[in-house]
Amino acid sequence: MEIDVKIITAENYVTTLKAASRPYHNHYYAMYSSMLGGMVTDPALMQLPIDDHIVHRGDGVFDTFKCVDGAIYNLDAHLQRLERSATAIGIEWPGGLNELRELSIATIRAGAKRNCSGRVMLARGPGGFGVSPFEAPERALYIIAYQLGQPFMKKKPLGATVRRSHVPTKAPPFAGIKNCNYLPNVLMKREAVEWGIDFVAGFDNNGFLTEGATENIGIVTRSGELAFPRLENTLAGTSMLRLMELARNSQTDNANLISVVTLRDITEQEIFDAAELLIVGTTLNVVAAVEYEGAAIGSGTPGPVWRKLNQMLEDDITENKELRTVVFSANEGSKDG
Ligand SMILES: Cc1ncc(COP(=O)(O)O)c(C=O)c1O
């Protein structure tokens, strides 16, 4: 028996898309598409061309930032990382960093939510279904404003559980490029969900700690050293780098808490021996990991360095005028997310 497939025409395309709307579409606020040359706010219309190489080859780069109480935090760091990732795979946006910035702000504004996530996807662009990047004559840009998740410790104040991932770590230089081939990261997240834990930690071939699925991981040693892995095998997390800067700048105030801030190789044994295990990322802020492979880290409760650093990062996000790109004035935009 032949399968009966409905024919969609230009006339009924939009009605069909709208009929296919789903409850989770409520979490999507606005999308800019260079292919449309404009912005849509109806989630049913937030579509990508199937022949864009970002779709069928993962040939594109992305970055995710957040807008908190009307201002985007650390936008330039995110866009500079996007540009570095793009350059690494030979993608250039003709409008440059400045246009990426303006369009990011415009998308968040169009979404009209004071608190949201923003994801910028810079794609090889449409042009066919081959693997050659040279098949695509022009780059494409998609930016979406969508629902912002709560910081981890607001959801789970007792802290996080972590185990060792079985997924092979991305080799350099891929680990440092935020490209749209996130399969290893997806599989890591899958492990965490299947194992009923919060995060997994990756290790490289030499047995050194790398990172989580979409987060950086560091330790606080019993002598007060705050250490994150060297950047070769990890993504240069904007939150991690800012946190290290905040920790260094405040070292005199926190001399009793943090003796030194480093990037170095970290062994699994050092995690077991650590006073605290910290996980950081844009949506999460700073997470206190209290259990690794079933063993308590330090006291088994969120520690003093976590408390101090998370507070510093939260204050930076809401108060640092230099790092906050204001999108909405005090009475603009909706407060709900
Ligand atoms: C693989 C990976 N590591 C680390 C991070 C944390 O980076 P950031 O602090 O800039 O969000 C991310 C962010 O999504 C990531 O995808």
CB atoms < 10 A from the CB of 267, how many? 14
Q: Are residues 118 and 168 in the same domain?
A: no
> How far is ligand 1, taken at its centre, from the CA of residue 252, in Å?
28
Range of the domain at 247: 152-319
Q: Are residues 116 and 159 in the same domain?
A: no
> How far is ligand 1, taken at its centre, from the CA of residue 122, in Å?
17
Take residue 232 and report the two structure tokens written for it: 């070769």
Q: Which of 60, 20, 65, 12 is nearest to 43 (CA)?
A: 20
Q: Are residues 105 and 159 in the same domain?
A: no
Q: How far apart are CA 169 and CA 15, in angstroms?
A: 44
Catalytic residues: 178
The predicted pLDDT at position 19 comes to 95
- DSSP reduced 3-state for 213: coil
Find the mean pLDDT for residues 202-219: 98
Residue where a domain stops, chosen among 146, 164, 179: 146
Task: Kindly state if the Cβ of 214 falls inside 6 Å of ligand 1.
Answer: yes
> How far is ligand 1, taken at its centre, from the CA of residue 240, in Å?
9
Q: How far apart are CA 41 and CA 301, in angstroms?
A: 43
Q: Specify the residue with its C-alpha closest to ligand 1, atom 14.
A: 214
Residue where a domain stops, chosen among 123, 146, 169: 146
Q: Is 314 exposed, middle or buried (0-12, 13-18, 19+ CB in 10 A)?
A: middle
The domain that holds 192 is classified in CATH as 3.20.10.10
Q: Poorest-confidence range of 17-31, 221-235, 253-267, 313-327?
A: 253-267
Task: Kindly state if the Cβ of 64 falls inside 6 Å of ligand 1.
Answer: yes
Q: Are residues 115 and 157 in the same domain?
A: no
Find the mean pLDDT for residues 213-239: 97
Each residue of 124-180: pLDDT tens digit? 999 999 999 999 999 999 999 999 999 999 999 999 999 999 999 998 999 999 999
Q: What is the DSSP string of 33-95?
A: ETTTTEEE--GGG----TTBHHHHS--EEEEEEEEETTEEESHHHHHHHHHHHHHHTT---TT
The predicted pLDDT at position 253 comes to 72
Q: Are residues 158 and 266 in the same domain?
A: yes
Q: How far apart are CA 81 and CA 276, in angstroms?
A: 28
Task: Kindly state if the Cβ of 175 falls inside 6 Å of ligand 1.
Answer: no
Residue 334 belongs to some domain of the structure? no
